[in-house]
Amino acid sequence: MSWNYRVCKITENPHYIDEPIVVYGIHEVYYDENNDVVNISEIPMVLADDIEELKATLTKMIKCCEKPLLDHNTGEEIQELN
């Protein structure tokens, strides 16, 4: 079995509005030995209203790897232990 990330179009039709809601998300996708999709993660890694916003978000995510780490509990910058 192999996996990668793929952009998925998600369409929802909530009962409280007339138009469907469309968003795009990056999901983990798993394949069988024939390279057929066997599973798509339920929760997207990244979610956006359109492909351009998705690209912009990913660019920001790449840039964040160059910044100091933040402690999730305190919000303070921390040094990574080697």
Q: Is the pTM of this model over 0.75?
A: yes
Q: Give per-residue pLDDT as tens, 6-27.
A: 999 999 998 899 999 999 999 9
Q: Are 32 and 15 in contact (CB under 8 A)?
A: no
User: How far does CA 47 lie from the centroid of its chain?
Assistant: 5
Q: Give per-residue pLDDT as tens, 41-73.
A: 999 999 999 999 999 999 999 999 999 899 888
DSSP per-residue letters across 10-75 = EEE--TTSSSPEEEEEEEEEEE-TTS-EEEE-SS-SEEESSHHHHHHHHHHHHHHTTSPEE-TTT-
Integer Cα distance of 41 and 57 in angstroms: 19
| Domain locations along the chain | 2-78
Residue 82 pLDDT more than 80?
no
